[in-house]
Structure 1
Amino acid sequence: MGPTVKPPDHPDYAPLYQRAEQQTHIEHFKKFYRDTASLGFEPSTIQLACDFFGVERVLFGSDSPMDSRSGELFTPETDRTVAALKLTEAERRDIYGGNMTRLLSRERVKTRRSATP
């Protein structure tokens, strides 16, 4: 178990800290999202991410236009990487947009709930 952290004095935080103390660090890391941006054709790296985080937590990203050719290099290489993964077509579609759509929809619901008096 990880180190104990004193929760802030706000009562809403107490349940979050109690749940966090019951999980290992690895369980916390598995809640992260990962994008597919890498330095070129890297299917093994992204396959590891899919295996560790779960395909549902991998989002398409290319770091464009950060490359020296304004996206002409990284985007096709990232696309080629996703095509080379050992995934079903449905999982591939999720990486290309389904996962982000679900993530944004969930956030929109949270925002609406918090805005409701």
Structure 2
Amino acid sequence: MRNFYLIIIILFYNTAVSQSLGKRRIDKIENTIVKITINGAQVGTGFVVSENGIVATCFHVIEPAFVRDRNTNDIVAVKNVKAKFENKEELEIFVLEDFLYNGAWYEEGLVGDYILLAPKENNSKNMSI
């Protein structure tokens, strides 16, 4: 009977610890999901992929932020892009240069429909992921 109680206690402890770890994992994941805005309008979502705040999203989400030359279709400017967290905190982000027109990853990002965005230096912070 003593062993039975010991087994019950161990099972209860393992269940409690596992539920606690699961909740913490979910909280961490929720803290990495962001809403992407262009000039204040929400256009999609993304997620933080590194501790220094790099955000991954779909290329088609950011495409409206590109201002293109009418004659050459080259990207001449990028509109104001921000990542908004669940806690309402906003982080100004920019498109990594290699993803811009004729950059090393432009065609791969366009075909694969992904892009990486980085926080602007003046407001970058260490993200816990």
TM score, norm. by length of structure 1: 0.29
| Higher-Rg member (1/2) | 2
Q: Going by fraction, where is strand more abundant, 1 or 2?
A: 2
Q: TM-score, normalised by structure 2?
A: 0.27
Q: Which has the higher helix share?
A: 1
